Amino acid sequence: DAEGLLRIKEENQKHYRRAQRHQEKKEKIQRHNRKLGDLVEKKAYDLKTQYEHLANLRRTHILELTSVIFPIEEVKTSMRDPADVSSESDNAMTSSTVSKLAEARRTTYLSGRWVCDDHNGDTSISITGPWITLPNNGDYSAYYNWVEEKKTTQGPDMEHNNPAHTISAALCYATQLVNTLSLILDVNLPKKLCNRQVNEFCGENLSRHRFTRAVKKLNANILHLCFSQHVNLDLLHPLHTLRNLMYLVSPDTENLGR
């Protein structure tokens, strides 16, 4: 028993010395981990600083782009027709005559039916200038009606102020802006937009199916960019093309450039 006890004591001493070596190794590993932790924290801070600097650069480029080349702003369309005002001032006309004349000026015969173009009390969003606008509600029926009318009407196009022209131009500019924003923000678009598709809106007259498909792709890309920059979801609408873009590039968007 005494020999067994001595043998056990010797083994315990060996275990104790080994435990001391393990403790020293553990402390050494802990010191190394603390150094790595401090280094990682410093690198993370440097990375965050670089991200903030990059975001500020992107934000500056985007604000410059949208203020010089692609300005987007809201245009009020609630102005009264000058002809209506002058007609109301004419005492020789009755109120019913004035209302009928005002209604006639805001009505167009397209594709075998009368279409009302009255947008009183509404607003539209312009891009690159107040003369190139899109309807605020995302209704592009004027383009469909114009294409259908062109199929049945012979002769040169004399309607220089046709809303279909401004719709196609505004969508073309919006597509160019979305492509440029995706490059600046380094965000991959879910719907690919090549150069042919960029010029599609300003090229030949599109059928309703092709036009609707192209607009849906554009709206999907705009929403994807808005989501990537954490634009307030309450402000977005899937059909409001230029309004969503306006919220995206607004200086009030806190996370623009992230």
| Predicted local confidence at residue 131, as pLDDT | 83
Task: List strands edge to edge, sheet with 133-135.
Answer: 72-76, 123-127, 133-135
Q: Is 72 inside any structural domain?
A: no
Neighbours of 178 (CB within 10 A): 23
Instruction: Kindly state the average pLDDT of the residues 217-243.
Output: 92
Q: Is 110 inside any structural domain?
A: no
Q: Which of 57-71, 115-129, 160-174, 227-241 has the lowest mean pLDDT?
A: 115-129
User: What is the rounded radius of gyration, in angstroms, for the C-alpha atoms of the chain?
Assistant: 33
Q: Is 75 inside any structural domain?
A: no
Question: In the chain, how many domains are there?
Answer: 1
List the beta bridge partners of residue 109. Answer: 114
Q: At what angle do helices 208-228 and 163-185 cross, to 10 degrees?
A: 40
pTM exceeds 0.85? no
Q: Is 11 inside any structural domain?
A: no
Tokens of 186: 């380094």
| Residue owning tokens 């923000």 | 185
Which pLDDT band, with edges at 50, 70 and 90, does 81 fall under? very low
| Predicted local confidence at residue 121, as pLDDT | 41
**pLDDT at residue 162 greater than cutoff 50:** yes
Q: Is 130 inside any structural domain?
A: yes
Q: Is 140 inside any structural domain?
A: yes
Q: Is 136 inside any structural domain?
A: yes
Domain around 182: 123-151+160-249
| Predicted local confidence at residue 86, as pLDDT | 45
Tokens of 134: 């899109």
pLDDT digits (tens, 9 = 90+) for 35-49: 999 999 999 999 999
pLDDT digits (tens, 9 = 90+) for 99-151: 666 566 555 444 455 545 444 446 788 898 888 888 877 778 878 777 777 66
CA 160: distance to chain centroid? 29
| Predicted local confidence at residue 111, as pLDDT | 44
Q: Is 91 inside any structural domain?
A: no
